Structure 1
Amino acid sequence: MSSHHIVRDDQEPALIIANGEACSMELLGQLLEWSPLVIVLDSAMERVAALGIKVDVLLGDFDRDFNPDEFIRTQHPIEIVYAPDQEKTDLEKAFDYLIERGIPAVNVIWATGRRTDHTISNLTNIVRYRGLLSIVILDDYSKVFLLPRNFRKWYPADSILSLIPVGTVNGISSENLVYELQNETLTMGFRSGNSNASRREGLVSIIHQEGDLLLMECND
């Protein structure tokens, strides 16, 4: 795997590599090509280094006898960020790091699969960063992000779109979905919007008045 950094512009999304199921090399290569900053969580560093990827930031609590100094020579220059706070996951600490640096957006890979508890936490915890950081979590089958109150985007016909509430979400209305919503409520664990789809090619509109609503763009 070649290095990254075709661009060096903090307006491009950074890339965080977590330690879940690996994505395809094709997706990994596409994201590396346009990422100005690559952050790897310590639990994934050995896997990432084995792929020959150049890393900018190695971040974590460095527990389980992990020695970050082993990567200083092979990854030079690299920033080592020790983040010992046990009240947050390493992924959340990486989000905090980007906010402190003033970077507005990030793509996250290897954050789903393997441990189900980690997957659920990684997907739902992004809601706390509304207004602070634009976060997109990707794998080979889905792209997940937090919806703004008023969302509009062009999709091909029959694009699979799942609406996942985090808690309760009120006042949801849509246009150009197969199963339209008209001022409705979705609640995690009781009613969600799985496996909806764009009815025809064109703009899909989704608005919601209260709560945190994730959109999952899916493919089989």
Structure 2
Amino acid sequence: MSSHHIVRDDQEPALIIANGAACSEELLGQLLEWSPLVVVLDSAIERVLELGIKVDVLLGDFDRGFDVNYYKDSQYPIEIVYTPNQDKTDLEKAFDYLIQRNIPAVNVIWATGKRADHTITNITNIVRFRNQLKIVVLDDHSKIYLLPNKFEKWYPKNSILSLIPIGEVSNIYSKNLVYPLENDTLTIGYRTGSSNHVAEDGIVTIEHQKGDLLLMECWD
């Protein structure tokens, strides 16, 4: 795996590599190609270095007993960010770091697929940081992000789109979905919009008035 390329000053999303299930080399390579900044959580650093990835920032509480100075030498110039706060996950601290640097958007990989509690927390944190950072979580099967109140995007027919509410989301309308929504309400744990499909090639429109609604673009 080659190192990432530096692109126009923070105009492309940063990349955070967490410590969940690994994604394909193809997806990882695509994201590295356009990421101006690669942040790795300390729990994943050895896995990342095994792939030959150049790391810009190593962040965490460093409670695993490794020598931080080793990474200063092997990954020079690398920024080491010590974040001992135990009230936040390392991924949350990485989001805080990007916000402090005024970086507006980030892609996150290796954030799903291992422990269920970590996966759920990582996905729902998209909502927590909604007003400060545009977060997209990706793996080999899905792309997950928060929808604005009105969303429009072109998709090919039969693309799988899942609408997942965080809490309750009301007054939802859709166009060009196989299972249309017409002033509907979705509530996590009771009714979600999982595994909907695009009806025809073209623009899909999804609108909602109240609540936090995640879109998962899914593929098998």
TM-score normalised to the size of structure 1? 0.98
Which residue matches 1:170? 170
CA distance in 1, matches of 2:214, 2:69: 38
Q: For each residue in 1:141-167, what CA deviation from the matched residue of structure 2 results, as whole angstroms up to 9, or x when unmatched?
A: 000001111111111111000000111
CA RMSD of aligned residues (A): 0.9
Which residue matches 1:129? 129
Q: For each residue in 1:68-109, what CA deviation from the matched residue of structure 2 results, as whole angstroms up to 9, or x when unmatched?
A: 222111100000001111111110111111111111110000
> Cα distance, 1:129 vs. partner?
1.1
Which residue matches 2:95? 95
| Secondary structure, aligned partner of 1:191 | coil
Give % identity.
72
Bigger drift between 2-11 and 111-120 goes to 2-11
Correspondence 1:161 to 2:168: no
> Cα distance, 1:9 vs. partner?
2.3
Amino acid of the structure 1 residue aligned with 2:206: I
CA distance in 1, matches of 2:52, 2:121: 29
1:8–1:67 distance in 2 versus 1, CA, 3 Å: farther
CA distance in 2, matches of 1:186, 1:15: 31
CA distance in 2, matches of 1:56, 1:39: 6
Which residue matches 2:193? 193
| Secondary structure, aligned partner of 2:191 | coil
Which residue matches 2:33? 33
CA distance in 2, matches of 1:20, 1:83: 19
Which consecutive residues of structure 2, in runs of 5 or more, have no partner in the other structure? none
Which residue matches 1:71? 71
| Secondary structure, aligned partner of 2:178 | coil
TM-score normalised to the size of structure 2? 0.98
Which consecutive residues of structure 1, in runs of 5 or more, have no partner in the other structure? none
Which residue matches 1:206? 206
Correspondence 1:117 to 2:114: no
Which residue matches 2:18? 18
> Cα distance, 1:6 vs. partner?
4.3
| Secondary structure, aligned partner of 1:177 | coil
> Cα distance, 1:128 vs. partner?
1.0
